[in-house]
Structure formats: structure tokens, C-alpha cells
Homo-oligomer: A and B are copies of this chain.
Amino acid sequence: MLRFYYAPRTIALASHIALEESGLDYEPIRLDFHAQQQRTAEYLAINPKGRVPSLVTERGVLTETPAILTYIAQIAPQARLSPVGDPFAFAAIQSFMAYLCSTVHPAHAHKTRGARWSDDPAVIEALKVKVPQNMADCCAMIEKEYLKGPWVMGDAFSIADLYLFAIERWLEGDGVDTTRFARLLDHRSRMNDRPAVAKVLPLH
């Protein structure tokens, strides 16, 4: 059985919902970041990066949200979480997920994880300043270029929606005036209506 390591209020939410949507058997294992459980020798043996999510499979461990989402979609094709046999549509989802993990997530991380990029407390504090603007710019880009509606890829729900939803939940905390982004709010609301989301959210 798959074992899934997550922590509340992290990007692991996306993969957690994907596991619920997939119908696959899995065991969720919660880490307490406040207690630094991601830094124990036991967990670092699973994921040396000390981050979540991690998915332990019978073939080995997978890390990084785009990879875990893609894997779940591929081993549970009946859940229709990703297009099959259409390289362009598949690549379009990969493009969106790569934008989220390479640009949007780092923009968010400068609020609470500035120590990744500087050891100077004043610099770490200063990195919080631009987070609201950067996240709002990302929201504008997503609404204009990616979110086709009602789902990210158009009519077909996919792993792209799960990834976006996890980030949508950070926006107010990141200082974004979400009233400017009605289509993202609408997407978030639509996601909240899904049974898999209702089941997983209380754990996060």
C-alpha cells in the first residue's frame, strides 16, 4: 500500500486530495513541522530534502508535487485525473504545474522561508515585503493565461486543479486582495464542493 507523508498547511494538500480522488489505497502519515518532525533521521531517510509531500511506493519514494500528482493520475487512469494519449494536453498540464512549482510557490515561500536564501535576519524580514505583489501578479497570470474554466484545463477536471487549489488557500494569508480575482475565487469554491476535498481538508 502507498504511504503518504504530509504536513498541514503545505502543498502536500494537492497530492492528498489526488489520492482521495484516485480511489487508491493509501496510508496518510502526518508530520508536525512545529516539532521539526521533517528533520528526524527517520524521515530524512525517506526524503533527504526534509520536505513534504513524499509518497512511498513499492518501487521507491517519490517527492515533488508535480511528480506525485502525475504518478497518481497514471496509476489510477479510471479516475481521469490527467489526459491520456494526448501529448500536447498532457504537456499543457505539466507546463502549468511547472509554473506553480518554479514561480508561484517560491514567490509564496519568501514570506515564511526566507532563510533558504539569506542568513541575515534583516534580509529575511525584507523578503516579506514583495510577497503580496508577486502573488497577485501570479494570480493575474493564472486567470489570464491558464485558467480556462470551469477547470484549469477547461471542461476536464485534472491534477492541475488540485495543485491550484492548494495555492489558492494561501492567497489571503499572503496579502492578496482576492476580490480582484473572481475567477480564482469561483474555482476555489468549486473545489471546496468536491467530496474528496471535504474529506481531506479537516486534516490540513
Task: Tell whether A32 is near chain B: CB-to-CB under 8 Å.
Answer: no
Contacts A101-B101, A110-B117; A68 near B48 (Cβ below 8 A):
no
Per assembly, the copies of the chain total 2
How many residues on A have C-beta within 8 angstroms of the other chain's C-beta atoms? 47
Q: Once the chains bind, are B118 and A62 in contact (CB under 8 Å)?
A: no
Residue among A88, A90, A117 with the most chain B CB within 10 A?
A117
Contacts A105-B102, A117-B110; A95 near B62 (Cβ below 8 A):
yes
A119-127, A150-158, A175-183, A191-199 - the one binding chain B? A119-127
Contacts A67-B94, A117-B127; A145 near B74 (Cβ below 8 A):
no
- Shortest CB–CB separation between residue A38 and chain B, in angstroms? 15
Q: Once the chains bind, are B95 and A64 in contact (CB under 8 Å)?
A: yes
Contacts A57-B88, A62-B91; A67 near B119 (Cβ below 8 A):
no
Q: Which residue of B lies closest to A126 (CB)?
A: B123
Contacts A117-B110, A118-B127; A67 near B95 (Cβ below 8 A):
yes
User: Whole-angstrom distance between the alpha carbons of A71 and B65 in the complex?
Assistant: 19
Chain B residues whose CB sits within 8 angstroms of the CB of A103 once the complex forms: 49
Q: Once the chains bind, are A64 and B126 in contact (CB under 8 Å)?
A: no
Q: Once the chains bind, are B88 and A60 in contact (CB under 8 Å)?
A: yes
Task: Tell whether A41 is near chain B: CB-to-CB under 8 Å.
Answer: no
Residue among A63, A64, A107, A144 with the most chain B CB within 10 A?
A64
Which residues of A118-155 are within 8 A (CB) of B?
118-120, 123, 126-127, 129-130, 134, 141, 144-145
